[in-house]
Amino acid sequence: QVQLVESGGGSVQAGGSLRLSCAASGRTFSGNVVAWFRLAPGKEREFVATISWRGDSTTYTDSVKGRFTISRDNAKNTVYLQMNSLKPEDTAVYYCAARRSGWVALATDEDSYVYWGQGTQVTVSS
């Protein structure tokens, strides 16, 4: 069992930056594909970014390409989401999620992820 804990959320003005962290406990998740999703008010939860277990492959949703960067430090059992040039439409609760160990394909659908954190709020004001 992998427990995930997000941190780093907060309130910023448009154009600002935040770095979210997703720390794993219970056991290492160095062998797991990890993703970030977000849930905005009145919308369905959507995929944001995902990273391979080695950290050598990433995928992003179009709306964050060039602004967000997902990375991981397996020695620290942590995945990061660096968010730059934030926009009000980025306001949401951000969740990290992990696939089962050994499922190495990157995935953008929620159903592919079995471990979820509790979420961290990001608010971007104009």
More confident: 1 or 84: 84
pLDDT value, residue 27: 78
C-beta neighbour count of 73 within 10 angstroms: 12
Per-residue pLDDT reduced to its tens digit, 63-120: 999 999 999 999 999 999 999 999 999 999 999 999 988 888 999 999 999 999 999 9
For residue 30, pLDDT over 90 is answered with no
Residue 89 and residue 122: Cα distance in Å, rounded? 10
Tokens found for residue 36: 């970030």
pLDDT value, residue 88: 97
Contact 24, 4 (CB under 8 A): yes
pLDDT value, residue 84: 98
Residue 93 and residue 73: Cα distance in Å, rounded? 23
